[in-house]
A = this chain, B = another copy of it.
Amino acid sequence: MSDEFDEGTSLPPTYLVLKVASDIKENTLTWLIDKIRGKRRDGGAELIVMRQPCDPEDGWMLHLSASKIKFLETAEEMELMKEDKAGVMREFTVSQLEEFLPEGMHVDDLLTLAEKQTIVRHELENIRALAEDAHIPGYPTYTLYEGQSIFQVCVKFNIILNVYPLHDQEALKKLGKKWYMSFGDQPIEEIRLYFGEAIALYFTFLGYYTATLVVPVLLGLLQLIVYSDTMSFFCVFNVVWVTLVLEIWKKKSNELAFKWGTISMTSMDEPRPNFRGSMGYDAISGKLQPQSPRYFTYIKMYCVSVPVVFLCLVGGFFMMLASFWAEDYLKQSHASDEYIILVPSIIYSILVFVVNAYYRRLATFLTEWENHRTQSQFDRHRVTKLVLFEFVNNFMSLFYIAFIIRDMEMLRSQLQTMLIIFQLISHMQEALLPFTIKYYGAKFASWRKSFFSSSREKNKFYRIATDEQLFPVLRSLPYLPIDDTRIEEASKEGDMEDYTDTYDDYLELFIQFGYVFLFSPVYPVAAFWALFNNVVEIRADAFKLCKIFQRPMSKRVKDIGAWQRCFEIIGAMSIMTNCGLLCLSPELKRSAPEMGQVEWVLLFVLLEHALLGIRYLMHITISDKPEWVRVALARRNYESKQALKFERSQKNRRLLTRKFKTIHGTHGH
């Protein structure tokens, strides 16, 4: 990717690799390539398509690129935010090109590689079916409606097998050195430029949350030393701290969103490719976009999705209860045999794993069907559905033990087991495996290399399709020479795992957050394990992204979406659970033997309400945005309001001038 593209003499750089099914029909492929290369006015994407030598049985590998002009034009159309010379993030426009080019920067370097990849992807995804495209040519059953994203349909029907951008090995190496190889602050700005806003925001959150864990860790350790007497104080402080941390995060996140130019994203923005609706002019921007009334989405959500999700949650809850009942039953009938008693929990764990996989597909399907307009809305509603189920699976059993069985010892051991097993598994998946690969790397890498090159050597004969095997449309494409490094990179990165989104990473943090704060008086050491885990996690996640996964597409977000609310709800719940646990704790009860059951419950109610009150006060007094962001946003708003006024008065003046001219003309001649 590092070779300079010299127009006219060599082939342009690859921004996306597209893998098409090997059994694709000729007319389908011709149609698809025509769409990708076609002119804008014919519904095409105006991209450059190249082919590489490949085995026809593996599928066709196409390399997508675009002209320099195309990049600049699309950047303006997509309302891409760029920093101008004055250091202000604003929408890029071609006519103001000069203002975005700092001294000495060439116009080709204006857009980063990630931005160019995003632009190519955006154009690819926005090839929309025309009125005459009734179905995919060659597949009469794969019907299309006007305005549907052709790319998404082809992916759905496995005509397009894979699409991914290529890594920039040089930049990646530099990034890695500052990131997972260092113990300083994370290079968030570099991460953003390489991986996009969504991933940069995840790592900012992870870093911030880990830093704030230091306080509960210290409190937890102090609690271990002085115990019981001060326990309630620590506990109260803990829940207040959680609220404070989340309120300040909102501020921090808005600050970043402002700096990154994502703060003005709304649900009225450009629709996501999969948004279904008849083509029409947008009420806000006047652009031709798929339109679908919002209340359709609401009806689907409230009438179908909510009940379905609710039933699933109830199902999950009863699964959990059943495992407890089975365990109880076995304890009574096979009290002697320790191993048999473990059977229900093992079956339950496996069941949860399996059911979870199905539920994920259900949730994705439902959210897709609800037809949300923007990617952020889609993500928010999908995450909400998934998190509810995860909540039942991960925390309900703990709630049951804490407040129904009321066995504090059991709760502690269960919490410990779950936290440690949970973190071990995630580390196995993320940290240990990659680190093993890295440290025992020399041997492994050489073996891997020899394996890859030998397989390549071996297959060379079959791999390269002869001209006769190629469809005419393929023969017409520019052809990458066999020694082009991109060919190996494309095949290597094509085999890598796909990093779909940040969901799993946030989920891990969310579950850990719950384990640490929901039951902190019972197991105060949890915060320490979490802190230790997260310090490793930052590096493991970074390594994983740089080395293990395909390069993810850069994605713009203005905040952590549904996760903010999820963490806040856990924060509110932690007030209730902590107060509940305090009042149930035998240590406290022993310290005030004169108090009866009723007094304890009333104490719980009082304490909880006071804390909820404090939480509410903190919520209303801590503003969401830092003062300077508020001022900067207000100034921008004011400036554009003034510009609109000015534009209108200019228009008025022109009208008046014309009027007077006409009058003058009538009189004069």
Interface of A with B (CB < 8 Å)?
Answer: 91, 93, 95-96, 98-99, 266, 268, 283-285, 294-295, 565, 576, 597-598, 601-602, 604-605, 609, 620, 627, 630-631, 634-635, 637-641, 643-649, 652-653, 656
A641 to B640, CA, bound (A): 5
Q: Which residues of B contact A634 (CB under 8 A)?
A: 266, 268, 284
How distant is A37 from chain B, measured CB to nearest CB, in Å? 30
Q: Which of B609, B631, B637, B653 contacts A95 (CB 8 A)?
A: B653
Contact of A268 among B91, B295, B620, B630 (CB under 8 A): B630
Whole-angstrom distance between the Cβ of A614 and the nearest chain B Cβ: 14
For A620, the chain B residues whose CB sits under 8 A away are 565
With A598-B598, A631-B268 known as contacts, the answer to whether A649 contacts B285 (CB < 8 A) is: no
Contacts of A605 in B (CB 8 A): 601, 604-605
- Determine the chain B residues whose CB is within 8 A of the CB of A601 once the complex forms: 598, 601-602, 605
Q: Are A647 and B638 in contact (CB under 8 A)?
A: no
CA–CA, A637 to B268, complex, Å?
A: 11
List, in ascending order, chain B residues with CB within 8 A of A597's CB.
597-598
Is B627 a contact of A294 with CB atoms below 8 Å?
yes
Q: How many copies does the complex hold?
A: 2
A652 adjacent to B602 (CB under 8 Å): no
Query: With A576-B609, A620-B565 in contact, do A645 and B91 touch (Cβ < 8 Å)?
Result: yes
The smallest beta-carbon distance between A138 and chain B, in angstroms, is 41
Q: Which 8 A-B pairs rank lowest in CB-CB distance, beginning with the nearest?
A: A95-B649, A640-B640, A640-B644, A643-B644, A643-B643, A268-B634, A643-B647, A601-B601
Q: How far apart sit A656 and B601, CA to CA, in the bound complex (Å)?
A: 76
Which residues of B lie under 8 Å from residue A598 when comparing CB positions?
A: 597-598, 601
Which residue of chain B has the shortest Cβ distance to A266 in the bound complex?
A: B634
Known: A268-B630, A630-B268, A643-B640. A648 touches B283 (CB 8 A): no
Most buried by B among A93, A283, A644: A644
Q: Which residues of B contact A631 (CB under 8 A)?
A: 268, 283-284
Residues of B within 8 A of A645 (CB): 91, 93, 96
Across the interface, which residues of B come within 8 angstroms of A602, CB to CB?
601
> 20 A-B residue contacts at CB 8 Å?
A91-B645, A93-B645, A93-B648, A95-B652, A96-B645, A96-B648, A99-B652, A266-B634, A268-B630, A268-B631, A284-B638, A565-B620, A576-B609, A598-B601, A601-B602, A604-B605, A605-B605, A637-B637, A644-B644, A646-B647
The answer to whether A283 touches B644 (Cβ under 8 A) is no
Chain B hits for A96, CB < 8 A: 645, 648-649, 652
Query: What residues of B have a CB within 8 angstroms of the CB of A284 in the complex?
Result: 631, 634-635, 638
Task: Say how far A324's CB is from chain B's closest CB, in angstroms.
Answer: 20
A403 to chain B minimum Cβ distance, whole angstroms, is 10
Among A294, A620, A635, A638: residue with most chain B CB under 10 A: A638
How far, in Å, is A605 (CB) from chain B's closest CB? 6
Provide the bound-state CA to CA distance between A577 and B30, in Å.
Answer: 71
CA gap between A99 and B653 in the complex, in Å: 12
Contacts of A630 in B (CB 8 A): 268
Q: Report the Cα distance A284→B644, complex, angstroms.
A: 16
Bound together, the chains give a CA A460 to CA B588 distance in angstroms of 84
Complex formed: what's the CA distance from A98 to B93 in Å?
33
A647 nearest CB neighbor, chain B only: B643
